[in-house]
Amino acid sequence: MALIEMGQIEEKTDLESEDSQFNSSQDTRKRHCCETPHLVSVANVSHTFTYKNINGWPIKSIPIVLFKAKINLLLPFGPLAILLHHLTGKHGWVFCFSLLGIIPLAERLGYATEQLAFYTGSTVGGLLNATFGNATEMIISIYALKHGMIRVVQQSLLGSILSNMLLVLGCAFFCGGFIHHEKVQEFNKAAAVVNSGLLLMAVMGIMFPAVLHFTRTEVHFGRSELSLSRFSSCIMLVAYASYLFFQLKSQRNHYNLIGEEGDRNEEDYGEEDPPEISQWEAIGWLAVLTAWISILSGYLVDAIQGASESLNMPVAFISVILLPIVGNAAEHASAIMFAMKDKLDITLGVAIGSSTQISMFVIPFCVVVGWFMGRPMDLNFQLFETATLFITVLVVAFMLQEGTSNYFKGLMLILCYLIVAASFFVHVDPSNGDD
């Protein structure tokens, strides 16, 4: 009898231990599932996965990375663009094929970043997202800077912000509102307000050099705006680093979702799949994909001027409209997909979060890189472009202030983007000849 009682006590102790472990894992998951949306994929989930099914040989990851996604059917367009460049010299075709070839590479770069984030903590994962989330735009911009095409850099980065804030967010709101027309979709208003504040700060940093230039109130004409741009860029980089620290460390739970929204996100994010490739495979693929994007970006930048002439399109329209739409096509599709699944917080993380990264990190980073290259890259985006960005940020900020969305808001944002696209189609860039 004593042995039986001891056995029952041990069994009860084991059950209590399992219950406490289960509750602990639930608490951990609840703590991470509700983090700010565009960093949710890099939460500390590495301890909850087992990696016994992952083979460390790089050859095993090739089918997963190159053949699993249907968008990889566009991969052959990259080599075709290179062949056309050397055999025919037709810049229009080289430009179009290079754009199509970069689309799957940008999507796979995001995939490799997500896979690597499984093995890192939230801080390192957040930095990975900030660095590689817009790696395609950064690479194209650095190549254009190297060739002295400063206006192409400014306009392509401006176009990425405009397309994310108007086209992507508009399509997401429209599709999500159409699918869920019987209810009002909600999102985390506090996080949206923080991002809107950062975007307004970016507008301030970009507006002052332009105002200084066009009012001709510089102490040293042509040099003061460049000095102000470099100083403002350093301040914006510090502000973005502080934002990451605030979001990931200092106040990571301050903007968490509560109540029913938190329960819904717990259910959604708890079903996240384990990583498909190992840590070193992810690092290797990041290096390979970044190198291949760099090669194609060189051909793309070289073909922009020729494509403008052969396609009879202004360089401003190509830089502001075509480059961002095609270069971020995979990211755009994911934002719309999450909105249709009623996960608007992730949608805002993709659309508004990406705009924040470009305005507060990529643009100042390009100014600093141009500084080291000896290129006069500044924040004077000219009057027309600066006014367009300012109005866009105001419109989107008003759309987000209620914390709700519907298909009519999405339709208004899409129509606003069509107005912007038409404006740049008839816009003649006064600085085109300078570069």
Query: What 3-state class would DSSP assign to 281?
Result: helix
Both tokens of 197, joined, read 């504040």
What is the number of alpha carbons within 13 Å of residue 398 lying toward its C-beta? 8
Task: Report the distance separating Cα 386 and Cα 380, nearest Å.
Answer: 8
**Does residue 196 surpass a pLDDT of 80?**
yes
Q: What is the pLDDT of residues 110-160, one digit of tens each?
A: 788 777 877 775 556 655 665 676 777 788 888 888 888 888 889 889 998
Per CATH, which fold does 66-434 belong to?
A middle domain of Talin 1 (1.20.1420)
Model confidence band, residue 25 (pLDDT cutoffs 50, 70, 90): very low
Burial of 27: CB neighbours in 10 Å, binned 0-12, 13-18, 19+: exposed
pLDDT over threshold 60, residue 343: yes
Distance CA 412, CA 418 (A): 10
Q: According to the model, what pLDDT value does residue 327 have?
A: 66
Please give the Cα distance from 418 to 166 (Å, whole number): 9
Report domain extents, the chain. Answer: 66-434
In this structure, what DSSP letter does residue 60 have?
G
**Bridge partner list, 186:** 404
Average confidence (pLDDT) over 328-334: 71
Residue 13's φ and ψ, nearest 5 degrees, are -60, -40
